[in-house]
Amino acid sequence: MILKRKDEVSMSSQLEALEAEAMKLTAEERAQLADRLIASLFEDAEVEDAWEVEVERRIGEIEAGRSKLIPASEAIARARAALK
């Protein structure tokens, strides 16, 4: 007979309840949830912080008029042209 600690049993039932709820989602929603959960295992706080600083810097550049925005369709066209 294998004995489990009380917190292991609690976590197991929590996990089972969460899984049951997740299974009520559509296949697409479950895929999105899975992606988010997997990504959460590999988050790097230092990288996240650096991106936050960079985003704020870019917003500042746009708001100050120092950056020129172009439509996404034009950016995509340029990227495709560069790949040819």
Res 1 pLDDT > 70: no
pLDDT at 40: 84
Instruction: Give the helix/strand (H/E) hosting 22.
Output: helix 6-22
Judge contact between 62 and 69, C-beta under 8 A. yes
> 2 falls in which pLDDT band (50, 70, 90)?
low
* Mean pLDDT of the 55-75 span: 94
| DSSP-derived secondary structure letter, 2 | -
Q: What is the pLDDT of residue 49?
A: 86
3-class DSSP state for residue 81?
helix
In b/e form, how buried is each residue of 41-68, taking b as 16+ CB within 10 angstroms?
eeeeeeeeeeeeeeeeeeeeeeeeeeee
**Percentage of the chain exceeding pLDDT 70:** 87
33 touches 22 (CB < 8 A): yes
| pTM: predicted TM-score of the whole model, two decimal places | 0.43
